[in-house]
A and B are shown apart, each in its own frame.
Chain A
Amino acid sequence: DAKTTQPPSMDCAEGRAANLPCNHSTISGNEYVYWYRQIHSQGPQYIIHGLKNNETNEMASLIITEDRKSSTLILPHATLRDTAVYYCIVDTGTASKLTFGTGTRLQVTL
């Protein structure tokens, strides 16, 4: 699996947009970018995934650069409940094993 690089921690004020970057410079053409988050003492939660195009769902938006070497997860209006560790993973999505990096610990503050 391709490796990803994320900043270890970020802060965001409640109500503001949280932009979480991820570098995946060695991503292969058939690998998707997945984002998960893990709230303390819970199992990870799927957020969004994409291949080439930008994606949006009810939770977040995913912006993937044209060369696919990096991406940004956007939480448009962060709340305190969004405080979690966010993991960016690249995977082919064919029931292969997911490998987690260290993620970004997002702290949303008042």
Chain B
Amino acid sequence: GAVVSQHPSWVICKSGTSVKIECRSLDFQATTMFWYRQFPKQSLMLMATSNEGSKATYEQGVEKDKFLINHASLTLSTLTVTSAHPEDSSFYICSAREGTLRGGYTFGSGTRLTVV
């Protein structure tokens, strides 16, 4: 089945630094990928839709200059958290869907970001 690889699985960074999270579709091409954020004991909140070869579409309230998304190829999307602060500490998850059939979306294993 479709596999989405997300890296790193966890990262600790200092306030003010930037962190890049990678999301790869291993055995399929994804023109669209999605980035979610999840705080403890809460549901997943969609941050943005990543479109290959074009600008990402951000959800209301998500700062596009803080959460930089790049989808340079059909198998790779990256999320960069710039000038991270402790309130950015969260679980970040990407997803993609294979093909045009109405199958399910595949999710990465998530990245636990802790900003100290």
Contacts and interface: CB of A to CB of B under 8 A. Distances in A.
Contacts, number: 57
A63 B36 CA distance: 29
Contact of A98 (B4, B95, B103, B112): B95
B97 interface: yes
A68 to B, nearest CB: 15
A41 B91 contact: yes
A46 B105 contact: yes
A59 B95 CA distance: 21
B46 interface: yes
By DSSP majority rule, is chain A's interface helix, strand, loop, or mixed?
Answer: loop
B102 A43 contact: no
Contacts of A100: 36, 43-46
Nearest to B108: A43
A36 B36 CA distance: 15
Contacts of A102: 43
Interface residues of A, number: 24
A101 interface: yes
Given A49-B104, A97-B49, A44 B34 contact: no
B102 to A, nearest CB: 3
A79 B56 CA distance: 40
B43 A101 contact: yes
A45 B49 contact: no
Interface of B: 4, 6, 31-32, 34, 36, 43-46, 49, 91, 93, 95, 97, 102-110, 112
Interface of A: 32, 34, 36, 38, 41-47, 49, 87, 92-95, 97-103
